[in-house]
A and B are shown apart, each in its own frame.
Chain A
Amino acid sequence: MRKTVLTSMLLMALHGAAQNPVIRNQFTADPTARVFNNKIYLYPSHDINEPDPAPEGMRKDWFCMADYHVFSSENLTDWTDHGIIITQNKVPWVQPDSYSMWAPDCVYKDGKYYFYFPSTPKGGRGFAIGVATADNPEGPFTCEPEPIKGVSGIDPCVLVDDDGQAYIYWSGMGIRGAKLKSNMKEIDGEMQEIAFPQRPGNNAPAGSMKVAGHNMEGLPDGFKEGPFAFKRGDWYYLTFPWVRGDTSNGQNPTETLAYSMSKSPLGPWEFKGIIMAEHANKCWTNHHSLVEYKGQWYLFYHHNDLSLQNDKRRSVCIDKVSFNADGTIKEVLPTMRGVGINQATEKIEIDRFSTASVGVSTQYVDTTNCMLGSCVTLPSKGSWMKYNDVDFSCITDGYVIISAKANANTEFCIRENNAKGKVLARVKMTVLNEQGRFRRDMSGQWMTLTTPLEYTPKGVANVVITCEDKEVTVDWLLFKNRPKYFKPSFDASTPATPDEQGFIRRWLLLEPIKQDIRSNVVFTNTWLREAFAKTYFKNQMDILPKNGQKVKSGQQTLAWHALESENYNIKLFRFAERWGQQTYGSLFWAVTIIDCDEDIPNVRLAVGSNGASMWWLNGEEALLLEGDRRMVEDDGVSPRLTLKKGRNILRGAVINGPGLSDMCIRFIDEKGNPVKNYSIKAQ
């Protein structure tokens, strides 16, 4: 009976994990990475915490794995979790609840995908290796009813040679290898009767069993497991976790990743050395695969980054790997940064830095939940950290959002490429504002800080954070583009029309004139009439300004800007923020020219403005919107007016204390419907 064991096709996109470890919402170990259909597919084992209650006899804090997920990615950065492909209690030959779905592999041959996985067989002890097949790399997979005969062990790896012949390697009393039949499910060759002694600490008696294949020759002494074989050029590589250290005197050295090379797929092998040294923090296991993707070789391996208390809960990491001219492998140093390019607009876990100055350290944000990730502390002025490969092509008018904490007011910079590089943003951190009205002590608390970019790198750059004052700790950052409020200038010779709802979007705006207004409660009719009647600059009521033309108002020199608003409302606050000297306490002057083919009688100028405003059509007062206004469509209208044939000049002034100044202006007919049969020049 063939049984489809697909239990879940839950797709989950995991974004922006262009750092190690690559999967952060669950544990993943023993990664086998394969390239199918121009995508990277990742087949890891799936470490979990023990079920509660744990099955009888389950060893505490030991390896615990119930199923397999498969993940895919096109850029090694954004991973999709395709969900569970095989689960222990639905495999016909697997002992239920044995939680021993260890390191798998998956290969393609002749239109089918073959998934190899070890587990404890029913009623038995030790491990057998089973096969499941599928038409697609993410399944659904169908399990064979029995495991492969003659294979007793773990960590299967299959190599399909250029001639189509497949070989299987596994770990069981040393590392063994054998030919596979063309059905990929049976060993091709004789079985050997192998005697095994009674092992210390194991109740099973000594005996013998029929075993396929043969022991790989030429490998170094010491504990080995997890074979991964691949071919590059005319070299075969057999790579494996290996304990090279001295195990005498009760020491417990941990695994390296090591390799041997041969000109033939089943050896004999010549030992070449180390691919990756022992993990610095004593994570006992390592387990890996090597894969070439888009011209670059990558080493997939694992580490217990998300579970420091228990090294049997591991997470997959990736680093680049390269070869010497003679085919030997250059040793890989594990990094936090990992591989892949981040888009600047992704949330980037900046603490996974590439390099840093002495004294810079990382800690878990929450030591009780490593899945929440880490943060990085820059201890003093001059300390820095560098995070490689962020793509800024998507940033045009950007700002940075960064999560940081500090114990005292401080300052840090985000720079390009090195600690003395160009400043993208200078972030001032005020954790305690002595003068603040709403004083609040934020020392030692996470703050999300936002700062506009002074400079935007071109293309891919390395991001450096430098501490410019006292200690600061940062967690993540991301860059965002500011919304577009205006097209900065327009071709004055091409007239515009009002928008669909009749709003006039094309204006000449004067940079704001400073006004000492802290609150709009002063906006009475009398006060406003006086304010609007004042002369702020020469020819205030007659000027037909040109883009860039400057006027003097008191101490201020202010420029006119020809702008086309992206919105129906003209966001004066954003105009002020970009081109003005202040955003609050401002008086804005606006001019536009309306061209009519004929007289349009009985129209009303309809205005909404934040705050108060006054309007003139062809030099005549049309409307005063008094009081503390918010911008509302058609908030106030003028008496009936005539837009005369030819050129009409519409002029206005908006005054505001605090608040998000804006205005929306259109003409409406006697029933309140928008008037649109005119064009707008503004210059």
Chain B
Amino acid sequence: MKTTYLIGLSIIFSHLSFSPVRAQSGAPYIHDPSTLAECDGKYYTFGTGGGGIITDDGWSWHGGAERPGGGAAPDVLKIGDRYLVIYGATGGGLGGGHNGRILTMWNKTLDPKSPDFKYTEAIEVAASDGMEDQDAIDPGLLLDPTTGRLWASYGTYFGTIRLIELDPKTGARVKGNKEKDIAIDCEATDLIYRDGWYYLLGTHGTCCDGVNSTYNIVVGRSKKVTGPYIDNVGRDMFHGGGKMVIAAGDRVCGPGHFGRTIIDEGVEIMSCHYEADFNQGGRSVLGIRPLLWKNGWPYAGERFKEGTYEIESQRRGYALELTVDFVRMQQERAAWFRAEDQQKPVVPVANQKLEDVISTWPTGEIPVRTSDYMFRPHQRWTITAVPEAGGYLSNPYFKITIAGTNRALAATASKDVTTVPEFTGADEQLWRIEQLTDGTFRIMPKVIPGMEGINKKFCLYSIADSTPTLAEYDFQSDNSKWAFRNH
């Protein structure tokens, strides 16, 4: 009786007090996820145990991915036209021992329904013998884009993190390759490369303790894949160093098992699991966050939050607004030279309100422009998720409406932008918002009328200081970039 009562109360409480938005939609339940792998337009991630989850659109996840061999914490990498899967068959102290084995196997596809779906026999590439300060589990793969060489890091808190080299053609250990210890005091490592630096990402803190898990992801970097991996204060990861990339917050805790996915130039995401999503009963779920870079260090961006914002072009700093008459505000002005004026109490000036101006706006389509931000109603946009419209990697599609109205930003067949008086749910009124690696955003319509398929190319673009349009995304140009500011 008491239990029921408590559960009931907590449900009500959560509905009242907290955002119901979940880390990912569908059934994103996973522990120790592999780096996301794309296969025939779908994304896959595999977890501890044997299975994995799949998304068709990048937002809604369902079960069904298959990986034989059991064991823990796999990673997956597409090499050529095949997928290499690496996993720890044993170890991790399961059953008390630290005899671990790292195995690799190939598959031509990740889709269990494909006639080509068949794993090759798994081969051992590394092992720990149970007597060393090492436990061969939690592997992560890196195909070095500068050399074509394939590396794997593995290990857990029981001793060191090790680096080995694999043959990218066979997935086997390179003959004569000796393992190298590159870190301690972490687990679930992954290696990435960017701009001349190798980064070792490790998971620190306490795992597997539900809502009390302090798991977090830290990073060190090196000019050589073999290390030493040094953190931002010069501390070697071999001495426990590491700079935080992501920790708890936003009602999720225990991020672990980093994976990086590059979607486009300047558009990167990181995948992980959260040990507990407070909005999903404290279950372990997949997390996807923008991956940002600052001064050569990666850090997790925030999940995009619904709200009312200025949408600021990064070209000049002008704000996106309706092309309507500027309605001047009346103000009783105090003169500095008139003594009695100086005696009057200071009264705040109220913001201009929607109802003050809306009658001056046309009722049909209103085009948009960019101009000086004056926090006026025609410049204030409310951004709301439209979960039934699906999504992309990291978020659902959003509608962008003038605050207090249903007037919605829409793409036109002439590759321009306008507003329509009522949001209808049409695809050209749905927007994909992604944070870029420099912290700014790109904003793309789901579709452009007259063009086939989901738009993956054209974004909201400042063709002139005052003129937004749709043009091909270009990370090198601030014309492609926007900021959301609530001020």
Contacts and interface: CB of A to CB of B under 8 A. Distances in A.
Interface of A: 399, 401, 433, 436-440, 448-450, 452, 480, 482-483, 520-521, 568, 571, 574, 608, 610, 628, 630-635, 658-660, 664
B133 A660 contact: yes
A450 B130 contact: yes
Give the 5 A-B CB pairs with smallest separation, nearest first.
A632-B240, A633-B239, A450-B130, A438-B94, A438-B95
Contacts of A482: 131
B239 A399 contact: no
A630 B94 contact: no
Contact of B95 (A399, A436, A452, A659): A436
17 contacts: A401-B129, A433-B95, A436-B95, A438-B94, A439-B95, A440-B95, A448-B99, A448-B129, A452-B131, A520-B206, A571-B133, A574-B133, A608-B239, A628-B206, A631-B184, A660-B159, A664-B239
B132 interface: yes
A633 B235 contact: yes
A574 B159 CA distance: 11
Contact of A631 (B95, B101, B240): B240
Contact of B132 (A483, A520, A632, A664): A483
A450 B94 contact: no
Contact of B185 (A448, A521, A574, A632): A632
B129 A450 contact: yes
Nearest to A398: B131
B97 to A, nearest CB: 8
A434 to B, nearest CB: 12
Contacts of B209: 521
Interface in B207-252: 209, 212, 214, 235-236, 239-241
B95 A632 contact: no
Nearest to B95: A438
A571 B160 CA distance: 13
Given A438-B94, A631-B184, A660-B158, A521 B212 contact: yes
Given A608-B240, A632-B239, A659 B94 contact: no
Contact of B131 (A480, A520, A659): A480
B127 A631 contact: no
Interface string B160-196: 0000000000000000000000001100000000000
B157 A635 contact: no
Given A483-B132, A659-B157, A450 B99 contact: yes
B129 to A, nearest CB: 5
Given A399-B131, A483-B132, A634 B235 contact: yes
Contacts of B94: 438
A672 B117 CA distance: 56
A196 B127 CA distance: 64
Given A440-B95, A635-B240, A630 B131 contact: no
A196 B153 CA distance: 70
Nearest to A628: B206
A568 B157 contact: no
Given A437-B95, A448-B129, A630 B204 contact: yes
B101 to A, nearest CB: 8
Contacts of B132: 483
Given A438-B94, A521-B209, A633-B241, A483 B133 contact: yes
Interface string B16-36: 000000000000000000000
A679 to B, nearest CB: 23
Nearest to A658: B93
Contacts of B127: 448
- Most chain B CB inside 10 Å of its own CB: which residue of A449, A520, A633: A633
A664 B235 CA distance: 14
A632 B241 contact: yes
A398 B99 CA distance: 17
Contacts of A628: 206, 214
A452 B185 CA distance: 26
A423 B190 CA distance: 43
A310 to B, nearest CB: 24
Contacts of B212: 521
Given A448-B99, A450-B99, A635-B240, A630 B157 contact: yes
Nearest to B135: A660
Contacts of A635: 240
Nearest to B236: A633
B320 to A, nearest CB: 46
A399 B235 CA distance: 34
Contacts of A658: 93
- Most chain B CB inside 10 Å of its own CB: which residue of A452, A608, A630, A634: A630
A630 B156 CA distance: 12
Contacts of A433: 95
A633 B240 contact: yes
Interface in B98-134: 99, 101, 127, 129-133
A630 B130 CA distance: 20
Given A437-B95, A438-B94, 11 more contacts: A438-B95, A439-B95, A440-B95, A448-B101, A450-B130, A480-B131, A482-B131, A574-B133, A630-B204, A631-B240, A632-B239
A450 B159 CA distance: 17
A633 B212 CA distance: 24
A448 B129 CA distance: 8
A504 to B, nearest CB: 15
B422 to A, nearest CB: 54
Contacts of B241: 632-633
A386 B212 CA distance: 55
Nearest to B132: A483
B183 to A, nearest CB: 11
A448 B132 CA distance: 14
Nearest to A452: B131
Nearest to A482: B131
Nearest to A627: B214
Nearest to B90: A440
B185 A631 contact: yes
Nearest to A481: B131
A574 B132 CA distance: 10
B155 to A, nearest CB: 11
B379 to A, nearest CB: 48
